[in-house]
Chain A
Amino acid sequence: MRLGKRAVSPLIATMMLIGVVLAAGFAVWSFANSATGAALSARGTEVARNVNQLNEKFIIFNANFSASKVRLWFYNNGNLTTQITAIVVWNAASPGTKTSLALPASTQLAVGVVTTLTVPALDTYTFTAGQTYYFQAVGQFGNTYTYFQQA
């Protein structure tokens, strides 16, 4: 019988093994949980965007022209408050030339409310009486509405 060689007792060995397994398992669980959380967050953002896009709805029903600015009448017939993020205008005579108009300070459209937006004076765009102009408004969640009227 050889004496002098010492080893860890079976009990301690078992406990060490359990500890290693637990630590490794916890690390793997943390990684999986973190990855799932990121996936959930991205998925949640996508779902919220889809739902908001479906609930967003607005129309333009009148335009009041002056030489260098225009006042547009909006009505929010959707299910949530939104904002107009862009207004593009073009002349019916030259539909390929589209100009983005500068937006006023507040473009919020409350649900069930008529809101008028006055586009500030422009340096590069003027309205000519008798000509027909198209206005395309883009909402916060991607919906658009196009309206045309003779100046």
Chain B
Amino acid sequence: MRKRRMRAQQAVSAIVSAILLVGMLLTTGFAYFAFEVRAQRMQSAALDYRFQVDQQQALERFNVMGQVSGTDTVAAYVVNNGPIPIRIAYMIVLNTSKGGDIGYNNTMAKSIYVNPGKSSPSIISNAVHDPNTQYSIGVVTARGTVVYALFPTPRGGIPGVIQEGLTSLDTGSIVIDFFSIRYSQKTGATWGPWTAGWLLPKGKNTVWAINVTNIDMTRDLYVNRYSNLYLIEAGSTLGSVIVFYIIRVQPDFPASISSLAAYSDTDRVVIPRGTWAFLYFGVDGPGDNPNVGGNLVKFTDENKQYAMFLLISGNWDSNTGEPYGQNIPFEGVRTQP
């Protein structure tokens, strides 16, 4: 009887010890386990975020195009050539003639998004434009990609290899930025935004915008009112022809059209040597007034395909300088209902 009682007392102590040990394991071990799980999640999330940001930043591709705003300040717009949208965080304008000193800069609202294949609206700085100054315009995206562009394009800025190649092919002094071509169509009294693409609706007055560069480093080209976009319908026999003659557009691309003006006999678009400019086309005769509705051009048929030619006519270095003409076959256009 006494032995049994003693055995029972020993059994109680062992149970208490076991309970204590288990309790220690649960409280300390579980706390550590729970913390470690949470820590792993935090690190994994941070790692995923960093990987995603770096990957997206590597996909950003865009060009910066300088211009002069309507208020005579330095401005620029961004063309997104990459596969993902970009958000513009900052633009800086540097006066390069001061050897990198900051001339002017501007911080705009961080709300400019540019989708792939699209252009941003004009980003206007507070730098008053000096035509004798070359500027360096830098754009920073929210992901941290930076692109700088010189404005205006410096003389000799066109890579020598490209110039040499084009000259040797005898393709002329005017080069098209193929992916810059845009059209705007009028609905009622309002012109729509500039749209990229080669499929457009019939039945609406249409204005075209094309970015061209004068790769001749020795002469300025004075483009006259006889320049046009010449479209000929594709088919087994000679199809219809539609011609858009050059006009003046305000404000400049990429802003939507607010006014049009005719080209007089003495009007010229000057494309300085080594520099680009936008040309606009929209009337059916040289020098026609685009503010007379009947003079604007529209596609009348749907499901038609056209070959587009850019016919440049002008003079070198003045209105009456050496004549120049060039034909650039470059586009295919199709109409839809």
Interface residues of A (CB under 8 A from B): 10, 13-14, 17-18, 21-22, 25, 28-29, 32-33, 36, 39-40, 43-44, 47, 50-51, 54-55, 57-59, 61-65, 71, 73, 75, 77, 79, 112, 114, 129, 149-151
In the complex, whether B161 has a CB less than 8 A from a CB of chain A is: no
Residue of B nearest to A79 (CB): B49
* Known contacts A55-B49, A77-B57, then 15 further A-B pairs from the complex at CB < 8 Å, ordered by chain A residue: A10-B5, A14-B9, A21-B16, A28-B20, A33-B27, A33-B28, A40-B31, A43-B39, A77-B142, A77-B143, A112-B89, A112-B142, A114-B107, A114-B140, A151-B100
Q: Which chain A residues border B142 with CB–CB below 8 Å? A: 77, 112
Task: Name the contact of A21 in the complex, choosing from B13, B27, B46 (C-beta under 8 A).
Answer: B13
Main secondary structure, interface of B, reads helix
A65 to chain B, nearest CB (A): 6
In the complex, whether B179 has a CB less than 8 A from a CB of chain A is: no
In the complex, whether B43 has a CB less than 8 A from a CB of chain A is: yes
Residue of B nearest to A53 (CB): B46
Which residues between 44 and 63 of chain B lie within 8 Å of chain A, taking CB atoms?
46-47, 49-50, 53, 57
Evaluate contact between B140 and A18: CB separation under 8 angstroms.
Answer: no
Interface size, chain B (Cβ < 8 Å): 42
Interface membership of chain B positions 181-212, coded 1 if the CB is closer than 8 angstroms to chain A and 0 otherwise: 00000000000000000000000000000000
Evaluate contact between A62 and B94: CB separation under 8 angstroms.
Answer: yes
Which residues between 28 and 79 of chain B lie within 8 Å of chain A, taking CB atoms?
28, 31-32, 35-36, 39, 42-43, 46-47, 49-50, 53, 57
Evaluate contact between A22 and B89: CB separation under 8 angstroms.
Answer: no
A88–B316 Cα distance when bound, in Å, is: 52
B192 to chain A, nearest CB (A): 33
Q: Which chain A residues border B146 with CB–CB below 8 Å? A: 59, 61
With A36-B31, A54-B46, A112-B89 as contacts: A28 and B140 at CB distance below 8 Å: no
A79–B42 Cα distance when bound, in Å, is: 14
Task: Name the contact of B46 in the complex, choosing from A43, A44, A55 (C-beta under 8 A).
Answer: A55
Which residues between 77 and 120 of chain B lie within 8 Å of chain A, taking CB atoms?
89-90, 92, 94, 99-102, 107, 110
B233 to chain A, nearest CB (A): 50
Evaluate contact between A18 and B39: CB separation under 8 angstroms.
Answer: no
A73–B17 Cα distance when bound, in Å, is: 66
Q: Which chain B residues border A62 with CB–CB below 8 Å? A: 92, 94, 102, 138
